[in-house]
Chain A
Amino acid sequence: MKKLLSIVAVSVFALSANAGTLDDVKNRGFLKCGVTTGLAGFAAPDDSGNWTGLDVDMCRAVAAAVFGDSSKVEFTTTTGKSRFPTLASGEIDMLARNTTWTLSRDVNLGFEFVGVNFYDGQGFMVPTSLGVSSATELDGATVCIQTGTTTELNLADFFRANNIGYEALPIETNDEARENLFAGRCDVFTTDASGLSSTRAQSDNPNKWVVLPEIISKEPLGPLVRHGDHQWGDVVRWSLNTMIIAEEFGLTQANVDDNMNSNIPEVLRILGVEGGYGEMLELSNDFAYNIIKQIGNYSESYERNVGPDTPLAIGRGLNALWTDGGILYAPPFR
């Protein structure tokens, strides 16, 4: 009896999740991608209801790679708490939700981070009127944090290490935390520096808020998939790598068509003119061309969503290419 039930269980399971995610996505005709409930610059609907942002571009790049059409994505909003169960249960195919790559998430939760699409660190934001210039001056302050995040743990560590007291106010979503901060329920808001810039951009007067200089943690944010489906993990990983490599070779949305006859061998490999690299991923050979043509390279996505000319105004910093003083580095396309 036990054996029989096990077989039933195994077969049901095999049908639902063991089948390759890539095949599931192809058969379904669109990609299901988990994003935030709304964080300007990373994933937020614009005025006409289209999702835009750095993480959204990541999802669209994968859709472009699989279908040759970046619009074939269904976005699922997830909170800090719901994101992991949503991915584990197979409700979404991938998660691109400024999620920090940590050992326990990679190993214990059964996920696989395929890379980093934004190098971040946790910072603090306070009202300018408080006159605070360093996080070490925050003794006794009330701090708003979003629950279920690594920031919660970093925060406790930071105050403990500096031997200063604080009152934590854990809040479910970024929006609620922002409301509490603006209402003065807390003195300080802490999250990834990019999130602070995003929150600051959403206030009625950004000059009323100042981001403190301390960055208290490493927060490599990246897309992740379920552990065990390596084929699908490779597809997402190389969609991300393609955007970075495209920047290295100066391939942009505008000039990609002109480069089809390039005399640089790697550019020809990227664009699918030479070699069968797409087929190795069980994609079409022009998957990288589609990503670059429809989304652009990493730099274009960055400048469009979070760069200095956007309300977030985040410089490239660590997110510049390794050749430009950053740490963005992708393995070769070969």
Chain B
Amino acid sequence: MRSNFNFFSDQKFRSLFYQVLVVGLFALGIYYLTITTAYNLEKRNIATGWSFLNNPAGFDISFSPFLDFKSTDTHLKVYYVGVLNTLLVSFTGCIAATFLGFIVGIIRLSNNWLLSRTAYVYVEFCRNVPLILQIILWYSILLLMPRIKQAIELVNGFFITNRGLYSPRPIYESGFSIVFFVFIVGIIASIWISKWAKKRQERTGQRYPVLWTSLGLIILLPLIIFFLLGSPMTFEYPVLKGFNFKGGMVIRPEFIAMFLALSIYTGAFISETVRSGILSVTKGQREASAALGLKPTWIMRLIIIPQALRVIIPPLTSQYLNLTKNSSLGIAVGYADLVHGFGGISLNQTGQAIECMVITMATYLCISLIISFFMNIYNRSIQFKEK
């Protein structure tokens, strides 16, 4: 009798059994999906495989700031262009959203009634209106900018049109690499000096004007070298020729609309995260530091923010992931991101939906995992260290 049920009354066995069962059913489900898909694809004479990646795309892409793309290039290159455009709008969007979020989060806690209410209205509006509508709204506004023939010239060589913002393009001549080299050295030296100054302050209490030294090293020194070398840089100005401006640089309205919408939308969420982080620092901390005679800006920078960051970073990571994934809405305004180019046009022209979607999804997964990875490293570095 005992031998009949002793296996199931054993908790260890029981939990193992259920786990194996669940994993087995899951694997079976995946297997079933795969063979059904393969069978149906074959049945309907739909071509499969990866060779299409090396076929010429045959179409042109509207926006490719990093790679030179021609219609004779392959679908694989369409993919690269898409990934770079997705990364571009995600990266710039994350930076802008973070600045915006921190500023608004702090303003919302301000004692100034008008400021905090304004911030409140911004947050509630932006996080409660669907992102795609905000993207389209910004794009519609940008389309109302002057037409190309009526372009407004802001200052010499800078134009506003509904086809983008045009600016002069710097052309580097020989010798500019030295200026660039000095600039990089300046940055490295500044980092080293700030570490040294911090140690010295901890040891002796003496402060060192790190900010001014760094500015001198990073900006002034390269500038001096630049002029000593006889200004090895000229500008190519955009000129209206025929249908469009020729020369110069341009930022397209599709990018601007995506950038503005993504950063303003995500900034609203980040500001709430920042606010909750700041509120999580107990009032006693603030009062104690005030009692020590610290200036309010110092209290914020030295006492509140470092402690608040421990609460802020994990949800901030989620916001970065959201922003990156939301950049796939670029198709709404024709921004040539990964989903629009490779996951859209290539998919449609080749008809290989499954392959294109698998690659596109895997790419988003990779980007997200990489963001999480670095944010987790940062998160660990700011956690409270037991000494």
Contact = CB atoms under 8 A, between A and B. Distances in A.
B46 to A, nearest CB: 5
Interface string B55-66: 000111110000
Interface string A226-257: 11100000000000000000000000000000
A170 B351 contact: no
A13 B39 contact: yes
A63 to B, nearest CB: 25
Interface stretch (B29-37, B207-215, B224-232, B367-375): B29-37
B296 to A, nearest CB: 48
A110 B46 contact: yes
Contact of A169 (B62, B331, B349): B62
Interface in A149-206: 152-153, 155-157, 160, 166-172, 176, 179-180, 183-185, 187
Nearest to A149: B348
A139 interface: yes
B195 to A, nearest CB: 48
Given A108-B46, A185-B253, A84 B36 contact: no
Interface string B249-261: 0000100000000
Given A85-B353, A156-B60, A156-B71, A170 B32 contact: no
A142 interface: yes
A123 to B, nearest CB: 18
A153 to B, nearest CB: 4
Contact of A104 (B59, B334, B351): B351
A168 B45 contact: no
Nearest to A16: B40
B60 A168 contact: yes
| Interface range on chain B (Cβ under 8 Å from partner) | 35 or more
A5 interface: yes
Interface in A1-33: 2, 5-6, 8-10, 12-13, 17
A171 B39 contact: no
A170 B332 CA distance: 11
A168 B36 contact: no
A132 B15 CA distance: 76
Contacts of A5: 31-32, 35
Point out which of B36, B60, B72, B351 has the most chain A C-beta atoms below 10 A from its C-beta.
B60
Given A5-B31, A105-B351, A148-B349, 13 more contacts: A9-B32, A17-B40, A81-B347, A108-B351, A109-B46, A130-B243, A147-B344, A152-B349, A153-B59, A169-B334, A183-B144, A184-B143, A228-B44
Nearest to B57: A156
A332 interface: no
A103 B334 CA distance: 28
A140 interface: yes
A156 B59 contact: yes
A173 B162 CA distance: 20
Given A107-B45, A156-B71, A170 B143 contact: no
Contacts of B332: 172
Nearest to A130: B243
A160 B144 CA distance: 32
B24 to A, nearest CB: 12
A154 to B, nearest CB: 9
A140 B143 contact: no
Contacts of B147: 184
14 contacts: A8-B32, A9-B32, A10-B39, A109-B46, A140-B244, A141-B242, A142-B243, A147-B345, A153-B349, A168-B60, A172-B334, A183-B162, A184-B143, A228-B43
B39 A170 contact: no
B45 A110 contact: yes
B163 interface: yes
Given A160-B71, A185-B163, A81 B349 contact: no
Contacts of A84: 348, 351
Contacts, number: 123
A283 interface: no
B47 interface: yes
B246 A140 contact: yes
Interface in B90-117: none
B30 to A, nearest CB: 12
Nearest to B341: A170
A185 B143 CA distance: 7
A73 interface: no
A212 interface: no
A227 B61 contact: no
B340 interface: yes
B82 to A, nearest CB: 12
A78 B240 CA distance: 39
Interface in A119-154: 130, 138-142, 147-148, 152-153
Nearest to B44: A110
A167 B349 contact: no
Chain A to chain B: the 5 pairs with minimum beta-carbon distance, closest first: A156-B71, A148-B348, A168-B60, A184-B147, A141-B243
A152 B346 CA distance: 11
A201 B244 CA distance: 27
Nearest to B72: A160
Contacts of B31: 5
B303 interface: no
A152 to B, nearest CB: 4
A185 B345 CA distance: 21
B338 to A, nearest CB: 14
A282 to B, nearest CB: 23
Contacts of A170: 59, 61-62, 334, 336, 340, 345
